[in-house]
Amino acid sequence: MDSDTLSKRILKEINPELPGPQAPRRDVHKDAPGQLDHWSPAILLERAAYLRKLAKHSDGSASETLKEYPRHLTMLSFRSRDGVVELHENFADLFYVLDGRATLLTGGTIEGAETIGPGEIRGVSIKGGTRQELRAGDVAHVPAGLPHQMLVPSDKTITSFLMKIQEKP
């Protein structure tokens, strides 16, 4: 089954009143330039239910870009497993935890580091580093250049609103 068919089936399962299959939304708000963008926690958590379904049928995580702006973008992320180590040379990550809990590991040395694109490094684990528990309502800012990894206990999940903010050109 292709991902588009799976997405349509999941959307129909989440909301049976939908009139026929609908493709997943890429941009939750398609406002005119200069307009206010607003996402209430209820809207974000409703959308996260869709991501939870996608994660269940994939590797335990799913995210989507809500809106792109000239120097930042907004995303919604659901995770039921540990993430890979990430280092963004030019972008900071600002997490707002909507639901669940996890540990954010930052700093230290990236083990198994691999450059996957310009300014983007991934790894298997972090040696050393600092642990910070995150719970619903918490905000965490990870500056550009700082290795980080989201660790999710096997019986937990985490749903976050995420801003990727360009700090370096």
By the 8 A CB rule, do 75 and 130 touch? no
Q: How far is the CA of 89 from the CAs of 12, 122, 128, 139, 154, in angstroms?
A: 39, 11, 20, 21, 30
Break the chain into its structural domains and give their ranges. Answer: 60-166
The architecture (CATH level 2) of 60-166 comes to Sandwich (2.60)
DSSP notation for 35-67: ------HHHHHHHHHHHHHHHHTTTSEEEEEEE
Higher pLDDT: 5 or 107? It is: 107
The confidence score (pLDDT) of residue 4 equals: 53
Most confident residue range from 12-21, 27-36, 57-66:
57-66
Residue 127 token pair = 């040696």
- Look at residue 72 and tell me whether its pLDDT is greater than 70: yes
Q: Where are the alpha helices (DSSP H) in the chain?
A: 3-14, 41-56
Q: How many residues does the chain have?
A: 169
Of 14-18, 66-70, 136-140, the least confident: 14-18
For 84-117, the pLDDT digits (tens) are 999 999 999 999 999 999 999 999 999 999 999 9
- Cβ proximity of 142 and 89 under 8 Å: no
Q: What is the pTM of this model?
A: 0.79
Mean pLDDT of the chain: 87
